[in-house]
A and B are shown apart, each in its own frame.
Chain A
């Protein structure tokens, strides 16, 4: 059986993985932002700024 054909059988797994990752990323972004706002702290820009702060650049 060809790789392409096997991959077609596996599509439901891949679609679920994509949905989980996208939905998870969106939810985490929104919820963390809300929590920060409620706590009265500045909204973190995940990634670049916090890395920059740590390395002092």
Chain B
């Protein structure tokens, strides 16, 4: 029964409003952001020209290269976060004629198909999504239909659909996974707009009323709404946790710390999902450059645009296959005969399939890229800032890792095989935004160097810089301090710590994805589990545990040397690397804690 779900107590939760746009805050961010980039440029220049330890180039060079790559990422991220300019919201259309070029459509109500894709998710979970979808309202007459797209071909799912009075669409195979499932549904429906929902996506009644107005601009192809996890654990106050563990003194100490630093919660959002940073900051600030991309669930698509993507991909595939076909025919007929182009094209067309969503692990971002690349039609994508649906977060580290691996692998696969940054079609700003996304996944390589550097110093006493003196800190400190202050203002209203920790600690996932793509291994399409998976996740976090273990051992080794032979360390080097190592341990420990996290009821048993 629905009431048995772990998330039932959270049904009443409401999403936070979008971040308020403040021009004064934005101006401060601009000043600090530029100052930060300047200080960074000075620091990086000084690192290359004045600070390298030439006695240990094997260590100094990788580190300075890593810093330079990270600095380039910083430039890209600053550009991404530069400004917030939302698309103007318009009144919901009463007729499809208001959403197309003049004379393209007759006066009739808008028609919308809402697709709920499912494979193996519990039927009662899908029923909740169906019921919420049925509650969607619209101020004008509308032809609105809900369809469940069941790739599991379950009789029980069909039964639920019949009980709820919604469409049930299935197929005889699972070709293309979710993209194939959507293609099959598109062939059997005809709505002007399509709302994409996962099995656990629970749309709010306002989703169409708030988003269809954007489509009054006939160039708007996709509207993405923020994904919001309504089941994230709220955690417990520090004073209460310490009070339980250490009695009154613990409670008083916790309360004192909270009095200084503000409310601190333990076990809040254990997997540091932080969707607000992604949707409300990163994606939303791509609106001014028409570079927000589709993320699947919670997005609304113009059917014409989706078919445009399909036809473009189809034509490209035929053109490519046509070339191959021509060469095959040439071989068959002998080189002296010229083959017939039409024959090669016809043959290629027979072999290709029209696929509205590319069969790719990141079909959503891929489709957006094709739209943005069309410089003639100039399709637009919109990130609508208000949350219009609720969904479930990954409840265990395996589900979280599967999801992150798909994102990383899919994006890197596009980068290596169909890179929109270098291909023609996009504006410079759009290229910069896509490069920001791809670059972030390469970050794992330099993050690994940052994680290992303090360990190398403590074990070997070799410093990557010539000396930890006033000269070094005179260049490094302004940059580091400005960096913190700039992004505090750039993400004002959100905590930047979660994003930073998650970025640093998820390095093994991005490295695995990078390795898989470099080897040409196909990134698979496993369905992200919607229910908590039981198991031992030690295997997923051994790299983080290794970093913690190595850093702690390095600390111990360092202390041993200091108290015996004296070491050869400098105090400045010790403090700098000690704090650096401590920061790394804290970041890694969050992921290790997540591996052993259990929901409250389970944890207390």
The answer on A and B forming one complex is yes
A57 lies within 8 A of chain B by Cβ: no
Among B493, B494, B576, the residue within 8 A (CB) of A27 is B576
Give Cα A19 to B494, complex, Å.
21
Whether A24 touches B262, Cβ cut-off 8 Å, given contacts A10-B488, A31-B571, A32-B470, is no
Question: Which A20-49 residues have C-beta < 8 A from chain B?
Answer: 20-21, 23-24, 26-28, 30-32, 34-35
Give Cα A23 to B261, complex, Å.
19
| Shortest distance from the beta carbon of A26 to any chain B beta carbon, whole Å | 7
Please state if A12 and B477 are interface contacts (CB–CB under 8 Å). no
Whether A13 touches B485, Cβ cut-off 8 Å, given contacts A24-B477, A31-B468, is yes
Q: Which B residues are in CB contact (< 8 Å) with A17?
A: 481, 484-485
Please state if B571 and A11 are interface contacts (CB–CB under 8 Å). no
Q: Which B residues are in CB contact (< 8 Å) with A16?
A: 484
Give Cα A23 to B263, complex, Å.
26
Whether A27 touches B488, Cβ cut-off 8 Å, given contacts A17-B481, A32-B469, A32-B470, is no
Q: Which A residues are in CB contact (< 8 Å) with B467?
A: 31
Give Cα A12 to B571, complex, Å.
26
B460 lies within 8 A of chain A by Cβ: no
Give Cα A28 to B421, complex, Å.
43
A6 lies within 8 A of chain B by Cβ: yes
| Shortest distance from the beta carbon of A36 to any chain B beta carbon, whole Å | 11
Give Cα A34 to B574, complex, Å.
14
Give Cα A24 to B469, complex, Å.
9
| Shortest distance from the beta carbon of A33 to any chain B beta carbon, whole Å | 10
**Could you tell me the dominant secondary structure of chain B's interface residues?**
helix
Please state if A6 and B493 are interface contacts (CB–CB under 8 Å). yes
Q: Which A residues are in CB contact (< 8 Å) with B488?
A: 10, 13-14
B105 lies within 8 A of chain A by Cβ: no
Give Cα A46 to B220, complex, Å.
62
Give Cα A23 to B470, complex, Å.
12
Could you count the A-B residue pairs with CB atoms below 8 Å apart for me: how many are there? 74
Give Cα A7 to B474, complex, Å.
28
Q: State how many residues of chain B have any CB contact under 8 Å with chain A.
A: 31
Please state if B571 and A34 are interface contacts (CB–CB under 8 Å). yes
Residue in B closest to A19 when the chains form the complex, CB atoms: B579
Residue in A closest to B477 when the chains form the complex, CB atoms: A24
| Shortest distance from the beta carbon of A8 to any chain B beta carbon, whole Å | 4
A54 lies within 8 A of chain B by Cβ: no
Give Cα A6 to B113, complex, Å.
40
Give Cα A26 to B492, complex, Å.
30
Please state if A27 and B571 are interface contacts (CB–CB under 8 Å). yes
Residue in B closest to A4 when the chains form the complex, CB atoms: B262
Question: Which B538-584 residues have C-beta < 8 A from chain A?
Answer: 570-572, 575-576, 579
Residue in A closest to B500 when the chains form the complex, CB atoms: A12
Among B487, B492, B570, the residue within 8 A (CB) of A34 is B570
Please state if B261 and A27 are interface contacts (CB–CB under 8 Å). no
B20 lies within 8 A of chain A by Cβ: yes
Please state if B481 and A23 are interface contacts (CB–CB under 8 Å). no
Give Cα A34 to B571, complex, Å.
10
B495 lies within 8 A of chain A by Cβ: yes
Please state if B572 and A1 are interface contacts (CB–CB under 8 Å). no
Give Cα A22 to B480, complex, Å.
13
| Shortest distance from the beta carbon of B97 to any chain A beta carbon, whole Å | 41
Residue in A closest to B495 when the chains form the complex, CB atoms: A9
Among B19, B263, B477, B571, the residue within 8 A (CB) of A8 is B263
Please state if B262 and A27 are interface contacts (CB–CB under 8 Å). no
Whether A31 touches B579, Cβ cut-off 8 Å, given contacts A13-B487, A13-B488, A20-B477, is no
Whether A11 touches B262, Cβ cut-off 8 Å, given contacts A27-B468, A27-B571, is yes
B497 lies within 8 A of chain A by Cβ: yes
B496 lies within 8 A of chain A by Cβ: yes
| Shortest distance from the beta carbon of B43 to any chain A beta carbon, whole Å | 13
Whether A9 touches B493, Cβ cut-off 8 Å, given contacts A1-B20, A14-B488, A23-B579, is yes
| Shortest distance from the beta carbon of B262 to any chain A beta carbon, whole Å | 4
Give Cα A14 to B20, complex, Å.
21
Q: Which B residues are in CB contact (< 8 Å) with A35?
A: 469
Residue in B closest to A8 when the chains form the complex, CB atoms: B262
Whether A6 touches B469, Cβ cut-off 8 Å, given contacts A15-B261, A17-B485, A21-B477, is no
Q: Which A residues are in CB contact (< 8 Å) with B481?
A: 17, 20-21
| Shortest distance from the beta carbon of B539 to any chain A beta carbon, whole Å | 30
Please state if A20 and B484 are interface contacts (CB–CB under 8 Å). yes
B6 lies within 8 A of chain A by Cβ: no
Among B263, B470, B492, B495, the residue within 8 A (CB) of A31 is B470
Give Cα A9 to B499, complex, Å.
12
Q: Which B residues are in CB contact (< 8 Å) with A20?
A: 477, 480-481, 484
Give Cα A27 to B86, complex, Å.
46
Question: Which B89-135 residues have C-beta < 8 A from chain A?
Answer: none
Give Cα A21 to B492, complex, Å.
22
Q: Which B residues are in CB contact (< 8 Å) with A7?
A: 262
Give Cα A1 to B484, complex, Å.
21
Whether A9 touches B469, Cβ cut-off 8 Å, given contacts A21-B477, A30-B572, is no
Known: A11-B495, A12-B497, A31-B469. 20 other contacts (CB 8 A): A7-B262, A8-B263, A10-B492, A11-B261, A12-B496, A13-B485, A13-B487, A13-B488, A13-B497, A16-B484, A17-B481, A17-B484, A20-B477, A23-B579, A27-B571, A28-B470, A28-B473, A30-B572, A31-B570, A31-B571
- A-B interface, 4 closest residue pairs, ranked by CB to CB distance from nearest: A12-B497, A8-B262, A13-B488, A27-B572
Name 11 A/B residue pairs within 8 A (Cβ), A-sorted. Answer: A9-B492, A12-B495, A12-B497, A17-B485, A20-B484, A26-B575, A28-B469, A28-B470, A28-B572, A32-B470, A35-B469
